[in-house]
Amino acid sequence: MAKKSKFQCPIGMHDILPEEQAYYQKIYDVVSNIADFYGFGKIDTPIVEQEELFSKGIGLATDIVNKEMYILKTKGGDSLALRPEWTAPLVRAYIENGMQSLPQPVKLWYFGPCYRYERPQAGRYRQFWQFGFETFGESSPVIDAQIVQIFYNVLQELKLKNLITEVNSIGDSNCRPYYKKLLTSYFRNRVASLCVDCKRRLKENVLRILDCQEEKCQSIKSDAPQILDHLCEECHKHFKDVLEFLDEIGIPYELNPYLVRGLDYYTKTVFEIFSNKKEDKSLEEDSKRVALVGGGRYDKLVKVLGGRETPACGAAAGIERIKDLMKSQEIKLPKEVLAQVFLAQLGGLAKRRSLKILEIFRKAKIKVAESFGRDSLKAQLNRADRFGIKYTLIFGQKEALEGVIIIRDMQNGNQETVKLDKVVEEIKQRLKK
Ligand code: AMP
């Protein structure tokens, strides 16, 4: 067992060790290829933003702003927050960098860590990575469908199985206020039966009662008025068009009238993509679903944060959850290219010159392993054997003085001395065989 050190990673955060990096790299490669194909430009924003960006953008009544932000006061007295999500920072960057004057739509993607002070549990961390795609300046429902398609494509390209896409519309400022009134009066009449959190939600953000997972709220929810019956004409048409586009592209989806998402800024379309761990019999029914992606349309946010009214649509995916799923579904990653050549050196002069030889091989793109810290030939050959190396180069005092090097075939033990300036060519020829 690893020794317990005096210092530990902050709760809910983790190191990404070398053996895990291959997953992040694979996800990054797939996402960046797809981003490139669909014409998205990559953006990075600072890890911290002014706290107010999130309280204004995401909304004071959300858990993220209310309970989960890491806030720090700078020496200058500014109040900054570690970013809990990327959409508000992207909107800030879009406005601040004059992207409203560029030809629209402006399409951006990102890949990096977020911070939320949540109760850590499996798949829920305090530092986690997200990638996402956001489109600004396009109101057509085809964009909503395309955003769903892009995330679906990423997950499929990563070979993830059992994906479920759920969609809903939460209307806009025309129809949502009336629906919220209906909902408030419905739940007010049943307030005694709601869980403690939902009693609070009833005052602060009634829509959130719809995605409550508490047992006692389920039956009350199931008879609540549904937003799809109360959408205004424009939102209704928009939603119908989104579904037709999804049908056209052949993305399987389910309608979920209770999907409202945790953030205040959404308008019209909202969606999530889950993976269903059907096969895992040890899990409770409700923990079989892992939320991988969430997003939707947010036509008001750019204006709320100080820009011109600009329609926008996008989503974010959780990278740790995708990585964990790739592992549990036993998705194979490309094998790391192992070194086929080992450079063994003997004596001070040879050791010094070996550093140069290594560089010649690096430039020729041939991976060479070494063990410069060891002086005995036997120890170095043992190491080469352990790496399963095909050829070992032996370079001692005599060879260094004569400008030659020995190539040893590790399978049959045959050795041949070649000129140092020919060694790369010689190795290339042998590796081709
Ligand atoms: P959200 O920004 O809350 O819509 O989340 C988008 C996606 O990020 C979710 O579907 C999850 O995959 C992932 N995610 C959100 N919160 C966490 C967390 N605390 N730990 C790990 N992944 C998360």
CA of 321 from ligand 1 middle (Å) equals 8
As a three-state string, the secondary structure of the chain is CCCCCCCCCCCCCCCCCHHHHHHHHHHHHHHHHHHHHCCCEECCCCCEEEHHHHHHHCCCCCHHHHCCCCEEECCCCCEEEECCCCHHHHHHHHHHCCHHHCCCCEEEEEEEEEECCCCCECCECCEEEEEEEEEECCCCHHHHHHHHHHHHHHHHHCCCCCEEEEEEECCCCCCHHHHHHHHHHHHHCCHHHCCHHHHHHHHHCHHHHHHCCCHHHHHHHHCCCCHHHCCCHHHHHHHHHHHHHHHHHCCCCEECCCCCCCCCCCEEEEEEEEEECCCCCCCCHHHCEEEEEEEEECCCHHHHCCCCCCCEEEEEEEHHHHHHHHHHCCCCCCCCCCCCEEEEECCHHHHHHHHHHHHHHHHCCCCEEECCCCCCHHHHHHHHHHCCCCEEEEECHHHHHHCEEEEEECCCCCEEEEEHHHHHHHHHHHHHC
* pLDDT value of residue 283: 54
| Residue to mutate, 111, 124, 151, ligand 1, most ligand atoms under 8 Å from C-beta | 124
Q: What's the mean pLDDT in 354-371?
A: 94
pLDDT one-digit tens code per residue, 405-430: 999 999 899 999 999 999 999 999 99
pLDDT one-digit tens code per residue, 327-345: 999 998 987 778 889 999 9
| Residue to mutate, 114, 130, 131, ligand 1, most ligand atoms under 8 Å from C-beta | 130
Q: What's the mean pLDDT in 116-138?
A: 96
The class of domain 18-175+231-328 in CATH terms is: alpha beta
Ligand 1 neighbourhood includes 302 CB (under 6 angstroms):
no
Q: Evaluate the CA torsion angle 226, 230, 234, 236 in order and state its sign.
A: positive
| Residue to mutate, 70, 86, 128, ligand 1, most ligand atoms under 8 Å from C-beta | 128
Ligand 1 atom showing the smallest separation from residue 317 Cα? 7
Ligand 1 neighbourhood includes 118 CB (under 6 angstroms):
yes
CA of 371 from ligand 1 middle (Å) equals 43
pLDDT one-digit tens code per residue, 242-263: 999 999 999 999 999 989 886 7
Ligand 1 atom showing the smallest separation from residue 261 Cα? 4
Ligand 1 neighbourhood includes 266 CB (under 6 angstroms):
no
pLDDT at 85 over 90: yes
**pTM attached to this predicted model:** 0.90
Q: What's the mean pLDDT in 40-47?
A: 98
CA of 79 from ligand 1 middle (Å) equals 24
Residue 387: which pLDDT band, with cuts at 50, 70 and 90? Answer: confident
Residue 62: which pLDDT band, with cuts at 50, 70 and 90? Answer: confident
* pLDDT value of residue 1: 54
**Residue ranges of the domains in the chain?**
18-175+231-328, 341-432
* pLDDT value of residue 87: 96
Q: What's the mean pLDDT in 355-359?
A: 94
pLDDT one-digit tens code per residue, 272-331: 999 986 655 555 555 678 999 999 999 999 999 999 999 999 999 999 999 999 999 999
CA of 347 from ligand 1 middle (Å) equals 55
CA of 125 from ligand 1 middle (Å) equals 9
Q: CATH number of the domain at 341-432, please?
A: 3.40.50.800
